[in-house]
Structures are given as C-alpha cells and as structure tokens.
C-alpha cells in the first residue's frame, strides 16, 4: 500500500503506512525503508528520515543499494553534507545515482571544485555518467568558466550512442555562452531539433550580458515568429541589455 501512495504522490500517507507497520510490530525491510526515505527526501522530513536511518542500521537485513541511494538523496535534499559523505564512504557498492547524489551535495555546499573532482574521479574509475550527471556538471563549468572541462563533456556527449535531450543541450549552450564562446553556442542552438523557452532565453541572456543587442533583438523577433511566448526572464534579459547598450527605443518597443 505504501508504494501505491508513494507512486501517486501521497507521500505523507506512505509515511503513515510505514509508521503503522512499526505500531503493529512488523519489521520493515529494504523495500519499506526505500519508500519511506523517498517520502522523507521529497517532504524534507529530516528527523523522520533520521529515524528511518536508525532502523536501517538496526535491521537484520543489510541495506541494499536502493536504500543507500535513498539515504544519500535524503541527506542531499536536506543539505546535511556530512551525512552525505558518511553514507557514500560506507557504501559497499555505488552506481551512477550514488555519484550523482555526491556531486549534488557538493553543489549545494557551493564546493564547485570538489564537484568537478568527483566527476573526474567517476571517469577514472570507469563509472560512466548519465544525462543527470552532465546537466549538473555543465552549469559548474559555466560558473567557473572551465571551458576545457566543458569541451571534454561535449566530446563525451557526441561519442555517446544516446541522443541528448533538450535539458542537456540547454546546459551545453549555456556553458559555451557563459564562457564567451558564442560561435559554438549559437551553432549548437541552431542545430537543436527542438527548443524550449529556456533554449531561447539562454542565448538572449548571453547576447544581452555581452552587449550584442542587435543580434539579441533579431533572435527575439525570430523567437516570437516561431510562436514561442516570452516570459519574465526574456524581458529582463532584453531590457537590461538595451539599457546598458543605450538602445532606449528598442527597449520601449518591447512593451508594444
């Protein structure tokens, strides 16, 4: 029953079923632990999650990888980084989801260099990566302008047999734009089979920040002609760019 509640988004109800198991003196197993921990992570119920963790430790059944990954997710979501490191270090086996949680923990702590080091360690140990890994790492490359690392990731994406999704391509475009390599960013943007609003806003923001407002306005007009409805991020990027470039009339036209 708990898994049914969890799958349908009734997370508190899933936790109540777990508590009812304890009241009825039923010993929970790894399946129950992972369901309860998932609910605690989403609801950010840290103290309840700690209680479940204590029961995992006391259980006669050793925690499996799903339970350990659920613990990592709980402590990452609740920004308890010391616990993230402790659980990760004690795991007998780790998969990509385990490494992704560790990277996310470093990002939440704003330890960007350490997050990049973990990604490099993943590659050295042959763990591989998922699109989630790369969409977490690419924004770090963008923030610290680690263009070489970003290019290495781009090569891995190209070599992969899987087709990158829009979220990953948006992160890649953002990395190139924030590193000032607009030709690469625009080439990727133009080659995207499908674009969402974030795709357009990424290019517009990059052009606006760097003063390429004529190009930005042309791209905005193209965006509107494609039927993409602008949002607050779009207008803030364009108005800020017009203000810095002294293009008052162009800024005023955005309101009409």
> What pLDDT digit, counting tens, does each position of 24-59 carry?
777 888 888 998 999 999 989 999 999 999 999 998
pLDDT the model gives residue 175: 96
Distance from C-alpha of 107 to C-alpha of 136, rounded to nearest angstrom:
8
C-beta neighbour count of 227 within 10 angstroms: 6
Q: Calculate helix-pair angle for 81-90, 96-108, nearest 10 degrees.
A: 160
pLDDT the model gives residue 4: 46
Which letter does DSSP use for residue 180 in this model? T
CB-side neighbour CA atoms (13 Å) of 197: 9
pLDDT tens sequence across 63-87:
899 999 999 999 999 989 999 999 9
pLDDT the model gives residue 10: 53
- pTM over 0.85, yes/no: no
C-beta neighbour count of 102 within 10 angstroms: 24
CB-side neighbour CA atoms (13 Å) of 99: 26
Give me Rg for the CA atoms of the chain.
23
pLDDT the model gives residue 237: 87
Low-confidence ranges of the chain (pLDDT < 50): 1-2, 4-5, 7-8
């Amino acid at each position: 029953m708990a898994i049914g509640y969890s799958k349908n988004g009734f997370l508190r109800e899933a936790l109540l079923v777990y508590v009812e198991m304890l009241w009825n003196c039923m010993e929970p197993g790894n399946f129950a632990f992972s369901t309860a921990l998932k609910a605690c992570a989403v609801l950010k119920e840290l103290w309840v999650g700690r209680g479940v963790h204590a029961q995992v430790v006391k259980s006669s059944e050793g925690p499996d990888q799903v339970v350990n990954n659920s613990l990592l997710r709980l402590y990452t979501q609740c920004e308890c980084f010391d616990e993230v490191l402790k659980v990760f270090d004690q795991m007998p086996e780790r998969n990509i989801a385990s490494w992704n949680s560790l990277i996310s923990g470093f990002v939440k702590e704003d330890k960007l260099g350490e997050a990049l080091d973990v990604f490099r360690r993943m590659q050295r140990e042959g763990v591989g990566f998922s699109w989630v890994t790369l969409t977490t790492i690419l924004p770090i490359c963008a923030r610290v302008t680690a263009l070489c690392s970003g290019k290495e990731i781009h090569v891995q994406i190209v070599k992969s047999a899987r087709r990158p999704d829009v979220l990953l391509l948006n992160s890649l475009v953002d990395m190139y734009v924030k590193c000032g390599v607009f030709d690469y960013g625009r080439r990727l943007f133009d080659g995207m089979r499908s674009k969402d609003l974030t795709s357009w806003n990424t290019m517009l923001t990059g052009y606006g920040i760097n003063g390429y407002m004529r190009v930005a306005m042309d791209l905005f007009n193209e965006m509107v002609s494609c039927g993409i409805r602008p949002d607050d991020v779009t207008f803030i990027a364009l108005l800020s760019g017009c203000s810095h470039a002294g293009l008052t009339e162009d800024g005023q036209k955005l309101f009409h």
